[in-house]
Structures are given as C-alpha cells and as structure tokens.
Structure 1
Amino acid sequence: MKIAIFGLGYVGLTAAGCLTKQGHDIIGIDVSETKVKDINAGRTPISEPGLDVLIAEAIAAGRLAAFTEVSDRLDDRDIAIVCVGTPSAPDGSHNMAYIAEVTRQIARALGKPREAPLTVVYRSTIRPGTLEELVRPIFASILKTPEAFVELVYNPEFLRESMAIKDFFAPPKIVIGTMDGTPSANMDRMNADLSAPVFYTGFREAEFTKFVDNTFHALKVAFANEIGRVCVDLGISATKVHEIFISDTKLNISPYYLRPGGAFGGSCLPKDVRALQYIATDIGVPVPVIDNVIKSNEVHKHYLFTHAIDGLKPGAKVLMVGLAFKADSDDLRESPNLDLARKLLQAGYKLSIWDDTLEPSKLIGQNLGYGFTHLPAMETLLVSRATAEATTFDRVIDTNGRFGALSPAAASEVVRLDRLP
C-alpha cells in the first residue's frame, strides 16, 4: 500500500519503519527540516531500539522518503496517518492546533477528483468528539463533500517507548473507529499481517480508549508505589509482594472488577481498604490514591441513585431487584444496595425489593445486624417472586442482573445498575 505519515516523532517514525518492513511504500511529512534531512540520509533522529536499522533499510530500499511539505504527494496514496503531537494546554486540555493544521493541509491537497476516498487515520490522542466536531468540519469547509474525498478513521496506537517496534508488530489490541462503526477495507489491508483482537466501533469510543488505558496505567503506577512505601516502612519485601500479586491472573490481573457498574461492597473490600488507610496513617506514609478509594465509591453510590430515578416522580412504584451486595449471595454487609434502598425511601418512592437469595429469617451475626440497622424496614420491603411478578411497577431497578429471572406483570422501564450502558 502507499501510505503518507504526518508527524515523524516517536509514533510516526516508528510506524514508518515498521510499515516499510511490511513492504509498504511510505512518505513522511514533518515541519522539521533537520529531521527530514536525517531520515532521508538513513539516520533516525530519535532513540528507539531497532528503529535505526529499519529506517536505514527502508531508505536503502527506496521504500521511505521524507518531506517538509505535502504538495501533491497524496494523489497516489491509499492512506494518510496523522501522528502529530497534542501537547497539554495551560488548562490541562489537549492543544489541538497541530491536528487542525494538518487536517487543513490534507484537505487542501485533495482538491482533485480521486478514484477512491483517501483513508485519513488519526493516531494522536484526542478528546472524544474531535473527529466529528473539529476534523470533519474542517474537511467539509474546504472540500464541501468530504465523503467523496476522505474516509475518516481513528486508530489509537499502543506503543511503549523503548519497546515500540515490538508493540507495533504484536499489539495488545487493534481499535478502529469509523463514522458508523463499520469496517474499513484499507485498514484491514494495512493490518493484515498483525495478530490481535480487532474492535470496530464509532469515533468516540475509539477516541476515549487511550484515555482509559493511560489513566489506568497511571493509577497502577501510583497504587503500586503507595503499596511499596507502606511495605518499606513495615519492613516487608515490596518485590515479593509484587511477585505474589501479579501471579494471580484470575482476579488481580484480569477483566474482573473492571466493568463499569455497581459500587463495591461486602465484607472484604471496604473493610480492608479502610484498614490499609489506617496502617498507612499509623506509620506516617501518605497514600492519597488509596485514601480516595472509599470516597470515590461513595460518590458512585449517589450517582447510581440519581441514574436510577432519572425522570421518575416521587410516589412512583419501584421494584428493586437485588439487595445483597452481589447476585447469588445473601451478604448484606456494606451492600451499596442498602444505601440505594434507603435513598429511594427517603425520596418518597413506594419501594418493593425482590432478592431470590435473601431470606431474612436465615440472617445471622453481623450480616443480620448490619442489614436491619441500615434498613430497619427490610422485612416489610422484601416481596416474593409471585408478588413481584403479579405487580405493576413504574420502574424496575436491577442491581445485580437478575431481573431476567422474573416475568413481571408490567414495568414501564428497567434500569440496570450492575453495568452501565
């Protein structure tokens, strides 16, 4: 394929080297004359293991050339990949000046009719909505009928510096955002030699992916360092604790606990987080990330309440499915659903609760005490399956995904809280 790459920094130049290795014909566009001169001489202006060899081989084979201006060089290209920087603005937002300028350059270079639209692929990290609200309007203002000239794609990269070449050829995933979420033939051709899960989606989901990944990576680093500080001050081997932690790929390093939905609760997570906070305070080790875990969970509980009652007038009849902190359990200790039930009652809703696992007469010990202390009317609120199915409710709030086990007489709307849409 014939591909143009705008921006020859770490991402763009790595892509250029790797794509030429796959046999593609690449031109690179960058405003830096020094950078362009080095690349055309077979030298790499950045330090990335193995990239110098790829660039030298590509130049020698005639598969790579760099320029400072686009001119008419897009006429024979199948794909244009935008890899320019999106640095932080003073307010923390992304500075979109380079994205806007390159988009204008591409649009102006596409004035001639084409046999097929140029696939313009954005890889820079950009705010969700950028392709719809910034990029496409720029193309539309210059080309009038942009779809006749360009196919817009957002394709985030997942390259780690110092391991970028390995990551390019063995990515953890391939995310491709298109206007309507349908596949792009050019993207499929370009990625044909790569083996990874492929996700086609709309622009916004693809644009947001990089934010989710990078913020979670930052959270992991901060969390690991806080645990490390506590370990050191307690005379514990942080290395050994890390070895044990990452060995658990069933729960610790896995998809579990990462689906947006219900708040956490139960007898372990809240208690152990608070205990770790106490230990850290006791030994004088600041742990700001851990200190805010419980606070974040409380915020999420209230968010779920407002989400559940959105548009519902007080006095409405509500069926809540699930009171225990998770399905197939009768554990009420620190169940966020107790807080939800209490908020619903305080807001004036006529509440009924169906939980197929929960039997108040069988509750014992702390479970019994916590349940009735935080929801004294629990026993009168709980209804049988038969009652739940025979009653007409204005809304059903499904906290644990068990609503499907019911066949209610009528419910104008079902709101799931175990997972967010």
Structure 2
Amino acid sequence: MKVAVLGLGYVGFTAACCIASEGHEVIGIDVSQKKVRQIMAGQAPIVEPRVQDMLTEGVTAGRISADVTIAAHLDDCDLVIVCVGTPSAADGSHNMGFIADVTRQIAVALTADRDRPLVVAYRSTFRPGTVEELVLPIFEAVLGEAAQHRVEVVYNPEFLREGSAVEDYFNPPKVVIGTRDGIPNAAMEELNANIKAPIFVVGYREAEITKFVDNSWHAVKVAFANEVGRVCLAQGISAQQVHQIFVSDTKLNISPYYMRPGGAFGGSCLPKDVRALQYIAADTGANLPLINSLLGSNEAHKHRLFEYAVEGLEKPARILLVGLAFKAGTDDLRESPNVDLARKLLAAGFELEIYDPGIDATKLVGANLGYAYSQLPVLERLLVERTHAEAASYDRVIVSNATIDGLSLSGDPEIRHTGQLP
C-alpha cells in the first residue's frame, strides 16, 4: 500500500517507520520544515529506540519520504493516517483545531477521481462524537454528496508507550478500529495483517472513548499507589515491601503494571486525557469524584517527592538530577514530573545541574521544544555532559526515571531515588 502519515510527532513518526519496515510506501506530512529536512536526510527527529535504524533503512530503500504540504500526495494513496496533536485547552477539553484544519486540507486535496474511497484513519485522541460531529461534517461541507464516495473515515486509537513504541506497534495489547457501521475495513486489515493481538471492530464512539478509559485507569493505578507510598513514607514503612505483597495477588489486584509507588504520572497522554475526561463528565452531567481527584493527588505527590528529595539539605546545596525526560531513553519533556521537580529545586534556591543522555537541547522540536523552554527557560545552561557529572562534586544526586549504573560519581554524594519510594 501507499500510506500517508499526517503529523510526524512521536506517534506519527514511529508509525511511519514501522509501516515502511513492512514494505509499504510511506509519505510523511508535517508543518515543521525542520522535521521534514531531518527525515529526508535520514535523521530521526525524535529519540526513541529502533526508529533511527528503521528510518535509515526506509529512506535508503525509497519507502519513506516527507513533505510540508499534502499537495497531490493523496491521489494514489490507499490509506491516510492522521496523528496530529489534540492538546489540552484551558478548560481541560481537547483543542481540536489541528484536527479540523488537517481534515479540511484532506478534503480539499481529494480532487482526483478514485475507483474506491480513500480510507482516512484518525489516531489522535478524540472525545466521543468527534468523528460524527466534527470530522464527517467537514468532509461533507467541502465535498458535498461526493464525500461518501471519496472518503471512508476510520477511528484507530494508538497504544504506544514512549521508550517501547516500536515493540508496542507490532505487539499491541489490542487493536481497536471504529467504523461507521462497526464493519471491518479492508485497508486496516491489510495494515494489521502481521500484528498478533485481539482486534475489536466497533462503532466510532466506542473506539473514541477507549483511550480515555485506558489512560484514566492507568492514572488511577499510579495515583493510588503513590498515596499508599506517601503513607508508608510518613510512617517509616517500606513501600517496596508493601508493593511486593500487594502485586503478588494477581487474581484480585489485577496486575503489577502502574502500581509501584514512585514517580508521579505525566507525559503527553495521561494528564491530557484525565483533564479531557473530567471535561466530558462535567459537560454531560456525570459525577466522577475519583477521576476529579487524580490531578490534585498527582500534584501533591510531586511536591512530596520534592520534599523527600531535598530532606536534610541546606541551601544552597549542589544537586545533580539524573533523568529529566518523561521516560528514560526518550527526549520527551512534555508534562514530565521531572521538569516540575527541577523547577521546584531552582525556586528553592539549590544549585542544580541535570544529566540526561537522551536530551540535546539544540535538537528539541515542536511542542516538546515549546514546553521545555516555557517550563525551564534555563534548560540549556542546566544540562551537563557525563564527563562533567562524573568530575563535579555534589551534595546529593536525585535519580528520577533514569539509572546511574555505570556513572562514576566523585566523592560520596547521597543518592535519592524519586522514581521508586524506599
């Protein structure tokens, strides 16, 4: 197949690389000229395991290309996958401006006669009703009655975790495909031909709410574990031992994932989707006390981790923070709890340096770049190389999502792990 991927962020770029690795031709579209130039030069615009090798192979074989405009690229496409952002608006709802804009661009580009409708699959996170109340009306407004013959809309949420996105693409926990009538789509069946996972073909709304349910449940697990962890910390109880006892019960306590007392939740998915589910509940008159408490509990946990990290230190102590990104092995700083921790350390008057081998401040792009410098304007000054970190003297080393294995620290600084409570 020829596949167009619109939006080359973490989800879109990873998907483009994975799809091309299976022999399909992929054209990536993104408004960022910098990203497009990098991709065409064979340089991955994100840090994520395996994607660089896949990009190199795809570009060399002529299966991956990129452009900043849709132009005529859709004329011979079999499938379009939309991965543009749906960031949080001020009220917690998703900002659907990018979705509306790209949908309109697709509709305008559908000028060529086709022997079958172009399948447009949306992977961006939507509130239920978005396909029926926003996407389809835009296609109908631009194309009129021809819309039903020129385009077939599919909703296909993604379940990629940063740091293991390629593995998750090929081995997802499930595949969810929303169609107008809940009937399988041939292009999506071909795309998923080599993926071994339960496949659910449902209506649009059932597919749209899936990501909110999943991410809110993950957020519930993290917040619950951290509240237990704070109680243990205050009482001198070993949170690790309590955690071991709890997760041994796989019959009633479900599973150990997201249940370890430690770091706050963050990143580009959980906070955004919890806020959106809160908005949906308020908009529909539902009452969700636990969901409404999640972000407040998470902020309290961030502050408790800060207190734990600096406990017993006198200002202006020298601190090395190991790990700033949301997940080790990536460079994604969006809503990373470690960015909040760094900001609190600076505001409290400590002398801070940060070591994260996955982050190069000069290579951050897009929303990641904007978030990094809006939250930590002095980021470039704070980041240090490994040789500097090993040679310098610190009063305390705070390890967040990363590891210090192999890092030879001079002196004997106290080490505090904020990613896992003791």
When the two structures are superposed, what TM-score results if normalisation uses the length of structure 2?
A: 0.60
- Give the structure 2 partner of residue 194 of structure 1: 195
Question: How does 1:152-231 map onto structure 2 within 5 Å?
Answer: 152-231=153-232
Question: Where in structure 2 are the equivalents of 1:308-327 lying within 5 Å?
Answer: none
Instruction: Give distance in 2, aligned partners of 1:187 and 1:236.
Output: 50
Q: C-alpha offsets along residues 146-194 of structure 1, whole Å, 9 cap, x if unaligned?
A: 1101111000000111111111111000000000111111101100000
Contact 2:117 2:149 in 1 (8 A): yes
Aligned to 2:142: 142
Q: Distance in 2 between matches of 1:289 and 1:177?
A: 28
| Alignment deviations for residues 256-285 of structure 1 (CA, whole Å, 9 cap, x no partner) | xxxxxxxxxxxxxxxxxxxxxxxxxxxxxx
| Distance change in 2, residues 1:239/1:203 (3 Å) | same
- Relative distance call for 1:234 and 1:50 in structure 2 (3 A) is same
Which residue is equivalent to 2:21?
21
* Inter-partner Cα distance in structure 2 for 1:131 and 1:4: 19
Q: Which runs of 5+ in 1 are unaligned?
A: 255-287, 294-421
- Deviation of 1:248 (Å): 1.9
Partner of 1:354: none
Q: Superposed, which structure 2 residues align to 1:264-343 within 5 Å?
A: none
Asked whether the equivalents of residues 220 and 291 of structure 2 are also in contact (C-alpha less than 8 Å), the reply is no
Identity %: 60
Secondary structure of 2:120 counterpart: strand
Partner of 2:44: 44
Counterpart CA distance in 1 for 2:195 and 2:78 is 19
The answer to whether 1:117 aligns with 2:117 is yes
The aligned counterpart of 1:12 is 12
Tell me the distance in 2 between the aligned counterparts of 1:292 and 1:53: 42
Per the normalisation by structure 1, the TM-score is 0.60
2:54 paired residue number: 54
Letter in 1 for 2:20: T
Which stretch of structure 1 is more off in the superposition, 59-68 or 236-245? 236-245
Structure 2, gaps ≥5 residues long: 256-288, 295-422
CA contact (8 A) 1:223 1:290 kept: no
Q: Which residue of 1 aligns with 2:380?
A: none
Once residues 211 and 77 of structure 2 are traced to their aligned partners in structure 1, the CA distance between those partners, rounded to angstroms, is 27
Matched, 1:128 2:128: yes
Q: CA deviation at 1:24?
A: 1.0
Alpha-carbon distance in 2 for matches of 1:239, 1:23: 46
Cα deviation digits, residues 83-135 of structure 1 (max 9, x gap): 00000111111110100010011101112210111110000001110000000
What does 1:381-400 align with in structure 2 at a 5 Å threshold?
Answer: none
Amino acid at match of 2:128: P
Distance 1:292 1:211 in 2: 16
The change in CA–CA distance for 1:164 and 1:132 in structure 2 (over 3 A counts) is: same
Tell me if structure 2 keeps the 8 A contact 1:111–1:143: no
Does structure 1 residue 239 correspond to structure 2 residue 240?
A: yes
Judged with a 3 Å threshold, the aligned counterparts in structure 2 of structure 1 residues 155 and 290 are, in CA distance, closer, same or farther, namely closer
Residues 208-232 of structure 1: CA distance to partner in whole angstroms, max 9, x if unpaired? Answer: 0000111111111111100111122
* Deviation larger for 57-66 or 229-238: 229-238
1:32 and 2:36 are equivalent in the alignment:
no
> Is 1:104–2:104 an aligned residue pair?
yes
Aligned CA RMSD, in angstroms, stands at 1.7
Q: Is the 8 A contact 1:14 1:164 kept in 2?
A: yes
1:247 shift after superposition: 2.4
Report the Cα offset of residue 53 of structure 1: 1.1
| Partner of residue 321, structure 1 | none
Output the CA distance in 1 between the equivalents of 2:44 and 2:216. 30
Deviation at 1:243, TM superposition (A): 2.0
Structure 2 matches for 1:364-403, cutoff 5 A?
Answer: none
1-structure distance, mates of 2:132, 2:67: 29
